[in-house]
Amino acid sequence: VQSTSRRDGRPLEELGFYNPRTNELQLDVPGIVRRLQQGAQPTDTVRRILEKENVFEQVNA
């Protein structure tokens, strides 16, 4: 979400989702890697999910 938008404003890009009820996870890994390389900072919860899915290994590669 852009800093100039409302808190619940439209996201710039949808990079995945997690449904805790069904444990369904869908990630756009190339998009996530690109955003992390550009300096995006994930929340603690998102960081744990990305670590579990080994996304950070691709960022540092």
43-59 pLDDT per residue, tens? 999 999 999 999 999 98
Whether 9 is covered by a domain: the verdict is no
Range of 36's domain? 16-59
Whether 25 is covered by a domain: the verdict is yes
CB 45 within 8 A of CB 61: no
Q: Which backbone phi and psi does 20 adopt, to 5 degrees?
A: -70, -20
Number of structural domains the chain divides into = 1
Which is nearest to 41 in space by CA: 3, 4, 9? 3
CB 15 within 8 A of CB 28: yes
Whether 11 is covered by a domain: the verdict is no
pLDDT score at 12: 81
Tens of pLDDT, residues 9-45: 777 889 999 999 999 999 999 999 999 999 999 999 9
Task: Name which residue leads in pLDDT, 39 or 5.
Answer: 39
Whether 5 is covered by a domain: the verdict is no
pLDDT score at 30: 96
pLDDT score at 7: 66
pLDDT score at 6: 64
